[in-house]
Structure 1
Amino acid sequence: MNRQIICALDTPHLDEAIATVRRLKDHVGAFKIGHALTLPNGLEVVERLRDAGADRIFLDLKFHDIPNSVALAVREAAKHGVWMMTVHITGGPHMMAAAAEQARAFGEETRPLLVGVSVLTSLDQHFLTEHLGINRELEEHMVQLSKLAIENELDGVVCSAHEIKSIRAAIGPRGVIVTPGIRLAQGDTHDQKRVGDPGQALADGADYLVIGRALASSPDIEQTMAQLGMTR
């Protein structure tokens, strides 16, 4: 098993997600679920996946609302024993602090990790500047938001492979870095603009790598893990 690999369950079908968990639970360290699976099935899906063998669940709902609403969302999600969850850093310091306070209420051993999202991997510099009106360079923008996240008691951040080095230098060793958009050398990028290689991402300072279709649809998981350079 490679504990640094998180398999994304990008499906609305619970039976399919359960089958994937059963097939991959001895190879990866966690499973990521988002709106596609939780909206039709509810947060009870966490228990169903845990029963199938998913020891750690990464709940990727990217909470972004007023502080009280996000605090309530974190509390309810934490009741289901999720391992990690996401919030948008642009919700601001008060929102992040409220989320962190709710997470801490569950105790150091059982509380969820909170990681902040700054710029989605589906966005690039053109969109950031021309459509959102943000004049900073994308990487500089992400570094500044990542520092803000750690200053406001989040456990870490999400970033693409392109920004790992700069963000690791900015937040130091204590912040967790989760990197999506990891692909096989010949893999499709799908809707993501900023993708990367698993070995380089880890070497640059990522703690966890999120891999979706390459694992979930693999006919030979051992071979795929070898191609990713992630066998242990």
Structure 2
Amino acid sequence: MGGKILKRYSPMVAIDVATKDAALALFDQLTVEPRPILKIGMELYYHFGPAIIKEAQHRGFKIFLDLKLHDIPNTVQRAMFVLGQLGVDFTTIHAAGGSAMVAAGAQGLRAGAAAAGLPAPKLLAITQLTSIDEKVLHNEQHVALSLVESVQNYAQLAEHAGADGVVCSAQEVRAIRQVTGSDFLCVTPGIRPQGFAKGDQKRVVTPHQAHVLGSNAIVVGRPITQASDPVTAYQAIEKEFLTEAD
């Protein structure tokens, strides 16, 4: 990376809960500094729409709207135009949709933000989900590349099509940095503190490992949202991820 200081963001907390009351309770608990970025995914957004984003924004949170758009380019462009007007800070698209789709999404997102007089959100492309392993890649997706090669291919495709970064496993960050520019973001889910169960994630690392591997941001859900004290859990993860080694 040529000695350039790596930009890091506060941890992104995945608010993957079933009810509005549960979401609002977490919003209120997590109003601490440094403030986390809240990830609003499909479950909450499909149920409550833009209103749930406004509830978080009113409390001063930045928003990662994770809807993983994947459709024909025109449909994605029109949908991204709408998302660009919501004032969110990050949103997602599937790199597997191809370069034309990613480019159309980037164009729509930035046009929507401009129409609303807002900064354009960062567009993050999904490479391979952290629930995917080599066995699934080869036996179900019938991809001949290795998992790392597949992720590198998607990262290059996304960057050339106008995305700002990718969502990937922290285990693949160094490989991605070999084939993309220094400002290209690597946002990494699959984060589990030491001793925490993996659940349905397969390519997992600790917050400290994500820091060492060069993640710009980490996405953490259950280790925070299901903790007996979400604030303490968040603060411990935030410190572990953002603290520079001596």
Give the TM-score normalised by the residue count of structure 2.
Answer: 0.87
Aligned to 2:99: 93
CA drift of 1:100 comes to: 1.0
1:186 aligns with 2:195: yes
Amino acid at match of 2:103: A
Q: Structure 1 CA distance, aligned partners of 2:242 and 2:172?
A: 25
* Shift in alpha-carbon separation, 1:112–1:198, aligned structure 2, 3 A: same
- Report the aligned-residue RMSD: 1.9
CA drift of 1:158 comes to: 0.5
1:117 aligns with 2:113: no
* Shift in alpha-carbon separation, 1:172–1:22, aligned structure 2, 3 A: same
1:134-145 → structure 2 map (5 Å cutoff) = 134-145=143-154
1:191-206 → structure 2 map (5 Å cutoff) = 191-206=200-215
- In the alignment, structure 2 segments of 5+ residues that lack a partner are 1-7
Task: Give the secondary-structure state (helix, strand or coil) at the position aligned to 1:49.
Answer: helix
Amino acid at match of 2:212: A
Amino acid at match of 1:95: M
Q: Structure 1 CA distance, aligned partners of 2:202 and 2:237?
A: 22
1:44 aligns with 2:51: yes
Give the TM-score normalised by the residue count of structure 1.
Answer: 0.92
CA drift of 1:203 comes to: 2.0
2:68 to 51, 62, 66: 62
Q: Which moved more, 1:217-226 or 1:108-117?
A: 217-226
What count of residue pairs does the alignment treat as equivalent? 230
Q: Structure 2 CA distance, aligned partners of 1:222 and 1:34?
A: 23
1:146 aligns with 2:152: no
* Shift in alpha-carbon separation, 1:39–1:109, aligned structure 2, 3 A: closer
Q: Which moved more, 1:99-108 or 1:151-160?
A: 99-108
- Say whether the 8 Å CA contact 1:168–1:205 is kept in structure 2: no
- In the alignment, structure 1 segments of 5+ residues that lack a partner are none
CA drift of 1:9 comes to: 0.3
Aligned to 2:5: none
Task: Give the secondary-structure state (helix, strand or coil) at the position aligned to 1:170.
Answer: coil
* Shift in alpha-carbon separation, 1:230–1:134, aligned structure 2, 3 A: closer
Q: Structure 1 CA distance, aligned partners of 2:237 and 2:61?
A: 25
Q: Percent identity?
A: 34
- Say whether the 8 Å CA contact 2:83–2:109 is kept in structure 1: no
Q: Which moved more, 1:207-216 or 1:219-228?
A: 219-228
- Say whether the 8 Å CA contact 1:142–1:167 is kept in structure 2: yes
- Say whether the 8 Å CA contact 1:58–1:83 is kept in structure 2: yes
